[in-house]
Structure 1
């Protein structure tokens, strides 16, 4: 099965909600938004924070992002866990002949530390995420960059993720997508995905069916 599988990180491979939310609460509190800090912040996990902070009405997203990064690097980065069944699913996909790539909205400077910490990094051919300055924050740009760099054919590739950004970005570059139901997205976000998976152990078969 000579195909490329691009995998999201937060909400797809790793349940990173505790560390991300605690860092968001800190950032929102110190930048003067205690009412938002006290709300449910799950919706902010996945999309680029510059987009989410702006959507929340924060006038200085850059300051909030800087505060978030301070707390995240200090305490939040590894306050997470790999979803049960993910390593086995990744191994099964790789054994079937597919190439695995990380494609995350998290800056790669952080993402690579996380995948190494949790033992996922050796399974990837390459790992892609935005730059810290926001370059390639939009996942469509990130996937286009990854395809150009790797030479992978989008028609023989698939994006797997939990949010609408994953589905929309894949469509933008001409690759199909699979949505996962165990992350932070909702059913309304998955329109356009070829299938919605409920468990990690469904990933290998779903990928195989796409390219049968």
Structure 2
């Protein structure tokens, strides 16, 4: 999928929702379709930080909880399937890359970094969305929650993504917006860069990432600083 053969630079692995792309509007509008159908008060996009960021199942559960409705497991399972069906047709209506993403990918690629995506979005939707946004071919691997038997915060989701990208799982950097991303990197023994503009309901400054950035203009320097001697404890 990637366009170049890379050198021994660290693999840079990105979360998707709230990190590479501002997906909240399309995610929440899809969830609200289900909530209207179920007679539950809808969630405004401004509440994205309260519901988005841990995958569709958790988002549905959180959204319905805000509307005063607890979901039994079988009901959540049915709503999850309906969510995936609707979202597949509406995943790039309002979604856009965050400012500076393209330029940052260009700089990282030119410097010899492998690029990958590790997200709790399903793989099919992740690939389709990144294609719609015109950047799928930038990534050597695009791995979702169903790509392996493990998903974030299990560190194997991250390390297996790096392996699929052709990188060394001991030499990688995670870029994300939430506790899930930072915890995943920590569990893998890898450094984490956190963006401040994502969907976490806890400020990333309280989550202990190695570097915090407010704009993608700062990512290249952050990666360069972390890449020097990056090695995890993964065997």
Aligned to 2:232: none
Aligned to 2:3: none
Q: Unmatched 5+ residue regions in structure 1? A: none
Given the alignment of the two structures, is residue 84 of structure 1 paired with residue 99 of structure 2, yes or no?
A: yes
- Give the Å deviation of 1:190: 5.0
Question: CA separation in 2, counterparts of 1:11 and 1:171?
Answer: 19
Query: Residues 56-75 of structure 1 correspond to what in structure 2 (within 5 A)?
Result: 56=65, 57-59=70-72, 60-75=75-90
Q: Deviations over 1:133-168 (max 9, x none)?
A: x95343424213224445633442110011110000
Given the alignment of the two structures, is residue 200 of structure 1 paired with residue 216 of structure 2, yes or no?
A: yes
Q: Deviations over 1:54-107 (max 9, x none)?
A: 454321211221221232123344420111110000110111111100111111
Q: Unmatched 5+ residue regions in structure 2? A: 1-7, 229-235
- Give the Å deviation of 1:42: 3.5
Report if the CA contact (8 A) 2:162-2:172 is conserved: no
Q: Deviations over 1:116-147 (max 9, x none)?
A: 11111121111111228x95343424213224
Structure 1 residues 152 and 125: CA distance shift in structure 2, 3 A: same
Report if the CA contact (8 A) 1:129-1:136 is conserved: no
Report if the CA contact (8 A) 1:164-1:189 is conserved: no
Structure 1 residues 137 and 12: CA distance shift in structure 2, 3 A: same
Aligned to 1:184: 199
Given the alignment of the two structures, is residue 3 of structure 1 paired with residue 16 of structure 2, yes or no?
A: no
Given the alignment of the two structures, is residue 46 of structure 1 paired with residue 53 of structure 2, yes or no?
A: yes
Alignment counterpart, residue 105 of structure 1, candidates 120, 136, 148: 120
Bigger helix fraction: 1
TM-score (norm 2): 0.80
Further displaced range: 66-75 or 143-152: 143-152
Question: CA separation in 2, counterparts of 1:63 and 1:48?
Answer: 15
Question: CA separation in 1, counterparts of 2:195 and 2:172?
Answer: 17
Report if the CA contact (8 A) 2:10-2:113 is conserved: yes
Structure 1 residues 30 and 45: CA distance shift in structure 2, 3 A: same
Question: CA separation in 1, counterparts of 2:79 and 2:55?
Answer: 13
Question: CA separation in 1, counterparts of 2:15 and 2:182?
Answer: 11
TM-score (norm 1): 0.88
